[in-house]
Every structure is written in structure tokens, then in C-alpha cells.
């Protein structure tokens, strides 16, 4: 049975072209740094982010954590948004792997502003840890995009205090499309950036961490510590190259489909989506209905061939992706109406 899968963009399957590229990939041993396909992907990634070098890693979480390990020293504090992926969805790894603590910025709009950073930067005091890193995210996990002016201001503020900036750009290309700029225009406001190829860009596995040559040399060692030194990784990198060369422009379709889905959900009694916040491929739908059973709703959709997450605190997240068509969205809306 074919499912309409709206749980995430990580569920996208590799394209036929990717399967062929995997079959034909020229590979080597990447721990010896002689896998030509990995080298090609890393070069391409670095170029697209406007950085000197890049490192192919197994996941976005690994990329973010290697960045934190490489930028900080034991006992530092890192500044991050309270709802960001690094804090909420990486199993508290920064405390465990880097031995750092968190200075969290908790704004209702999930944004970080200059004044927040200034408040969180530690001055020299025998009681205080040192501020080791500012972590930014763009696009944000709530599906909105941080404007370039904000990025610039945050980057400059951190640098005034000699604090490096890491950008979790898991969906940086979605953000770039929304902002109508090249991804490197966002990445230039960070010392290091991580982005995912295994989400909307359809690769089966992997993320890229980009930064200066010196930073990536350090990061390569940290990846080895985590057991992330992969050998014939070129089979995966071959897909990544296709992601970067051919899959970025089509993300616009996902964005358009998300807006379409949002407007259709808004027509349903008790369902509402803030359309201004539908900026990439994510739709957060508020459900205000008496005794609405989220688990049961997700189960009934599943029986009709639609996969969704059950929702959280009255909100259901739908994510559009390459394998979800306009017709699939019409079908989903029809099923939702039937279930209700």
C-alpha cells in the first residue's frame, strides 16, 4: 500500500537517479581521506555555504554535536534557543559529549535577539562558566525563517565578545528559498553551519558540517571520536551530490503545497493554521474541538493510508515533501472531513 506520509521530510525516499549514482559511485576509504565522491560532496557543500571546508557526517545531530565539541571546551556554557533542536531533540548530548551547560533564551516567538545574547554572555567572575558558543537555527523548528538582518546582528554581537557562532541549518535551503537568497547569504553569519541532505533533499543518509579549514580539521577528529569515521561513504555522498545539484529548486513545490494544505485546513471547523507562519514546508494546525482524541484521529488517518504524527499540546504538524503531491493533499483533506 502506498502511504501519503506527512510526518516529516526525512521520510523522502531516494530518487531513481540517486539509486543509479550509488551503483556507479567511485569510492575509497574516507578515513584515509581518499574517497573521491565524498571529497567532491564536501567541496561542493563548502562552496555552497561560502566556507573553506566541509565534513560529511552521519546525521544532523552528529553535525551539531561535533560543532559544539569543536568550538567549546569542557565546562563552557552555550547560548541557545530553549526550543531549538540542539536543546530539545538531541538527547541532551551537548552536556554529555562536550561537557557544557546551556544558557537558554526562551522567547514566545522562538527567536533570539541581540539583547538576549547580551544578557546571557558571562562576564569574568569566579562563580561563572565561560560563554563558549552561540547556537542559531534557520529555518527554525517551528517552520519560520529568521530574517538576514537578525542573523547579522546576532553574529556581530557574538563576535564583539569573541564568541563563535554555530548555525543549525538543517533546512537552510528551505530558509534560503523563503528569503529569496543563496544559502551562503545565511551561512555567512555563522562560523560553522550544519545542513541536512536527508530531509527535503531526499538523500538516504547524511548531513554536512561546514566551516574554516582549521575548524573542519578539528571536527574530523571529533567525528572519529564519535565512531563516525565512515569508509566507503562515497555511496552515500553520491546521493548528496544529486541533492545539492538537483533537488534544491524543487523545494519551492513543497512550500507551495504546504500553503495549499494550510488554506484547506483553515476551511475545516475547529482547525486553524496561522498562514503567516507557513514559510517553508511545515504546517502547524491548531485543533480546537471538544474531546478531540489526537491518537484516534491519527489512527483513522493511517487506516486511510495517511501517516501523521498524533500531535502535541493541541497542535498537529504536517510536513510536505517530494513524495506528497497536490492530489495527495486533496485526498488528505477529503479523509480528514470524512473522519470528522
Q: Using CB under 6 A as the criterion, which residues of the chain lie in contact with ligand PLP when the complex forms?
A: 59-61, 64, 85, 137, 141, 168, 170, 196, 207
Residues 6+ apart with CB under 8 A from 90: 61, 64, 65
Residue 93 Cβ, how far from ligand PLP at the closest point, in Å? 10
Nearest residue to the partner ligand PLP, using Cβ: 60
Q: Cell triple for residue 293?
A: 482524541
Residue 63 Cβ, how far from ligand PLP at the closest point, in Å? 7
Q: Which is nearer to ligand PLP, 57 or 298 (CB)?
A: 57
Q: Which is nearer to ligand PLP, 175 or 301 (CB)?
A: 175
Residue 90 Cβ, how far from ligand PLP at the closest point, in Å? 7
Residue 170 Cβ, how far from ligand PLP at the closest point, in Å? 3
Q: Which is nearer to ligand PLP, 207 or 257 (CB)?
A: 207
Does residue 223 contact residue 62 with C-beta atoms inside 8 Å? yes
φ/ψ of residue 209, rounded to 5 = -110, 130
Residue 135 Cβ, how far from ligand PLP at the closest point, in Å? 10
The 8 Å CB, 24+ separation contacts for 179-183 are 179/145, 179/147, 179/148, 181/148, 182/48, 183/48, 183/49
Instruction: For the chain, report the end-to-end CA distance as a whole number of angstroms.
Output: 24
Residue 156 Cβ, how far from ligand PLP at the closest point, in Å? 23
Distance between CA atoms of residues 99 and 132, nearest Å? 11
Beta strands, E only, 61-127: 77-81, 101-105
Does residue 190 contact residue 166 with C-beta atoms inside 8 Å? yes
Q: Which is nearer to ligand PLP, 209 or 285 (CB)?
A: 209
Q: Which is nearer to ligand PLP, 68 or 121 (CB)?
A: 68
Distance between CA atoms of residues 308 and 229, nearest Å? 34
Q: Which is nearer to ligand PLP, 35 or 137 (CB)?
A: 137
Amino acid at each position: 500500500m502506498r502511504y501519503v506520509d506527512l510526518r516529516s521530510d526525512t521520510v523522502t525516499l531516494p530518487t531513481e537517479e540517486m539509486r543509479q549514482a550509488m551503483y556507479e559511485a567511485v569510492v575509497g576509504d574516507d578515513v584515509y581521506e581518499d574517497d573521491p565522491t565524498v571529497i567532491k560532496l564536501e567541496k561542493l557543500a563548502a562552496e555552497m555555504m561560502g566556507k573553506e571546508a566541509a565534513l560529511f557526517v552521519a546525521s544532523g545531530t552528529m553535525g551539531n554535536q561535533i560543532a559544539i565539541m569543536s568550538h567549546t571546551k569542557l565546562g563552557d556554557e552555550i547560548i541557545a534557543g530553549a526550543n531549538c533542536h540542539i536543546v530539545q531533540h538531541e538527547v541532551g548530548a551537548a552536556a554529555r559529549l562536550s561537557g557544557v551547560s546551556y544558557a537558554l533564551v526562551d522567547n514566545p516567538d522562538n527567536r533570539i535577539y541581540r539583547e538576549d545574547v547580551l544578557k546571557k554572555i558571562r562576564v569574568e567572575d569566579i562563580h561563572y562558566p565561560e560563554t563558549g558558543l552561540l547556537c542559531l537555527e534557520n529555518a527554525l523548528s517551528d517552520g519560520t525563517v529568521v530574517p538576514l538582518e537578525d542573523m547579522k546582528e546576532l553574529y556581530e554581537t557574538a563576535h564583539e565578545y569573541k564568541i563563535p557562532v554555530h548555525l543549525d541549518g538543517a533546512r537552510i535551503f528551505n530558509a534560503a528559498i523563503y528569503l529569496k537568497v543563496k544559502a551562503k547569504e545565511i551561512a555567512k553569519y555563522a562560523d560553522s553551519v550544519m545542513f541536512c541532505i536527508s530531509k527535503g533533499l531526499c538523500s538516504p543518509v547524511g548531513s554536512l558540517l561546514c566551516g574554516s579549514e582549521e575548524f573542519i580539521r578539528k571536527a574530523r577528529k571529533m567525528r572519529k571520536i564519535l565512531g563516525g569515521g565512515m569508509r566507503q561513504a562515497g555511496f552515500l555522498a553520491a546521493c548528496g551530490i544529486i541533492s545539492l545539484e538537483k533537488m534544491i529548486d524543487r523545494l519551492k513545490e513543497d512550500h507551495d503545497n504546504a500553503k495549499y494544505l494550510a488554506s484547506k485546513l483553515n476551511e475545516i471547523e475547529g482547525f486553524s493554521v496561522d498562514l503567516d507562519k507557513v514559510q517553508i514546508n511545515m504546517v502547524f494546525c491548531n485543533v480546537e474541538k471538544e474531546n478531540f482524541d489526537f491518537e484516534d484521529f491519527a489512527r483513522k488517518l493511517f487506516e486511510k493510508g495517511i501517516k501523521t504524527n498524533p500531535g502535541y499540546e493541541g497542535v498537529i504538524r504536517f510536513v510536505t515533501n517530494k513524495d506528497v503531491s497536490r492530489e495527495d493533499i486533496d485526498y488528505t483533506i477529503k479523509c480528514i472531513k470524512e473522519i470528522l
